[in-house]
Amino acid sequence: MKGKKTLNKTSKNNFITMGGLLLVYVIVLILKEGGITTNLINGQLVPICAYMIMAISLNLTVGILGELSLGHAGFMSVGAFGGVFIGSLMQQVSDSKTLCLLVAVIAGGLMAALAGLLIGIPVLRLRGDYLAIVTLAFGQIIKSIVNILYIGLDSEGLHVAFINKPEILDDGKMIISGSMGVVGNRKLSTFTFAFIVLMLCLIVIYNLIQSRTGRAIMALRDNRIAAESVGINVTKYKLLVFSISAAMAGMAGTIFAFNYSTVSPTKFDFNTSILVLVFVVLGGLGSMRGSLIAAALLTLLPELLREFSDYRMLVYAIVLILVMLGTNNPKIRDFFAKMFARKKTAKEENANG
């Protein structure tokens, strides 16, 4: 009886996050249609959704699975370029923007998931810092590969080449051209589409965490040996979560790429990985709501600080430090600790019951 009640509490909390997100979406949409929001905000809506998806997907790896990934932008890159590739092919056969984008997002997600699975198989056998190092290398490798990758499309078909640009006919165009990345992309992403994907990702993550699988994963995070001793298949669960996380990052990448007419491989570098990690750490490990808020705020913040012109990034850094200090303040920490304690007991009871 007691167990059931606490379960509802977690669910309720999740529903509040989702409801809040939906509310913000509706408000922003009304304001946007009413022409009240500035162009700056309108232009930021899709990237914010993409970064939110990135943040919750990394939070799944870092906060729930307990593995540090420093190459999350690598998956975003795979999703971005893979998605644009499929999306460009789709545009040859279909005129529907939404259909093209949908197929591209699914394809981008699948490709990133595959990449996650492939690197997950050897890497998740490593523990601690090694995983961080390998994922860091993964991000760099992806960046370097896309840098020399050329894919062109013309009436003869696809031309794929490395290092040197392939010859394409006049009627064709380059889909991915090396260091320039994607150029002359049709902007397909819309706020509503990005939001729906974000919502779906959030629902998947919440359900995953609350499921039997989620409990197994968190058991793994908290004590691997104990978890193994009760028969939890470590590799299976780790791979599962890592692939899901990669797939979401891939989808975010596709949405992000289709929001701009050009995307370069260097966009998804180490700095982007760290930026997303900052969202997660600032929002709180394991807290999806925190990640969402942190992603939105930290994406908007540098733009809103433009008033400070040259001192912008300085102020940005100071704000970051203040927030970190603030969340480390004994009183505030105590406040969060109490909440965390409640959650934890709830989880333990669930696990017991």
Partner 1 sequence: MKKMKKVVCFGLISAMMLSAFAGCGKKSDSGAIRIGGTGPLTGGAAVYGMAAKRGAEIAVEEINALGGMQFELRYEDDTHDAEKAVNAYNILKDWNVQISLGSVTSQPCVATAAETYADRIFALTPSASATDVTKGKDNMFQMCFSDPNQGSASAQYISEKKLGTKVAIIYKNDDVYSTGIFETFMDKADELGINVVSKTTFNTDSQNDFSVQLGEAQKAGADLVFLPMYYEAAALILDQAKKMNYAPKFFGVDGMDGILTLEGFDTSLAEGVMLLTPFSADATDEKTVNFVKKYNEKFGETPNQFAADAYDCVYAIYEACQKGKVTSDMTAEEVCDIMIEQFTTLKFDGLTGAGMTWGKNGEVTKSPKGMVIENGVYVGLD
For position 236 contacting partner 1 by CB under 8 A, the verdict is no
Residue whose entry in the numeric block shows the structure tokens 């509310």? 23
Nearer to partner 1, 130 or 335 (CB): 335
Buried b (16+ CB within 10 A) or exposed e, 88-115: bbbbeeeeebeebbbbbbbbbbbbbbbb
Q: Which helix (H) or strand (E) holds 217?
A: helix 212-222
Q: Does 303 bind partner 1 (CB under 8 A)?
A: yes
- Of 89-97, 126-134, 241-249, 294-302, the window that binds partner 1 (rule: CB under 8 A) is 294-302
Q: How far is the CB of 231 from partner 1 (least distance, A)?
A: 36
Q: Does 178 bind partner 1 (CB under 8 A)?
A: yes
Cβ contact 90:99 at 8 Å? yes
Per-residue x/- track, 149-168, partner 1 (CB under 8 A): ----------------x---
Pattern 100-139, partner 1, x by CB under 8 A: ----------------------------------------
Does position 321 bind partner 1 by CB under 8 A?
no
Give 32 or 215: the residue with its C-beta nearer to partner 1: 32
Q: Can you tell me which of 10, 264, 327, 350 binds partner 1, judged by CB under 8 A? A: 264
- DSSP notation for 254-323: HHHHTTSSEE-GGGGSHHHHHHHHHHHHHH-TT-HHHHHHHHHHHHHHHHHGGGGGGGHHHHHHHHHHHH
Q: Which residue from 147, 192, 210, 213 is in contact with partner 1, where contact means CB under 8 A?
A: 147
Query: Where do we find the tokens 């523990």?
Result: 127
Round to the nearest angstrom and report the end-to-end CA distance of the chain.
10
Tell me if 151 sits within 8 A of 175, measured CB to CB. yes
Q: How far is the CB of 38 from partner 1 (least distance, A)?
A: 4
C-alpha to C-alpha distance for 163 and 333, rounded to whole angstroms:
52
Closest CA to 67 of 128, 135, 138: 128
| For partner 1, the closer CB: 49 or 227 | 49
Binding segment (CB under 8 A) for partner 1, from list 69-77, 192-200, 273-281, 338-346: 338-346
Among 312, 315, 340, 350, which residue interacts with partner 1 (rule: CB under 8 A)? 312
343: tokens are 């959650």
- Chosen residue from 289, 295, 346, 347 binding partner 1 by CB under 8 A: 289
Which residue stretch of 97-105, 141-149, 218-226, 228-236 sits at the interface with partner 1 (rule: CB under 8 A)? 141-149
- Three-state secondary-structure class, residue 223: coil
Query: What is the maximum alpha-carbon separation in the chain?
Result: 71
**Applying CB under 8 A, does 352 fall inside the site for partner 1?**
no
Interacting residue with partner 1 among 118, 200, 304, 325 (CB under 8 A):
304
Q: Where are the beta strands (DSSP E) in the chain?
A: 149-154, 157-162, 173-177, 182-183, 262-263
Q: Which residue has the tokens 């997907």?
A: 57
Helices (H) and strands (E) in the chain, counts: 13, 5
How far is C-alpha 34 from the geometric centre of its chain's CA atoms? 30
- 350 forms part of the interface with partner 1 (CB under 8 A): no
Q: Which is nearer to partner 1, 41 or 320 (by Cβ)? A: 41
Binding of partner 1 at residue 184 (CB under 8 A)? yes
Bridge-based pairing of strands 173-177 and 157-162 is unpaired
Which positions touch partner 1 (CB under 8 A)?
Answer: 13, 16, 20, 24, 27-28, 36-44, 47, 140, 143-144, 147-148, 165, 178-180, 183-184, 187, 260-267, 289, 293, 296-297, 300, 302-304, 306-307, 309-310, 312-313, 335, 338-339, 342
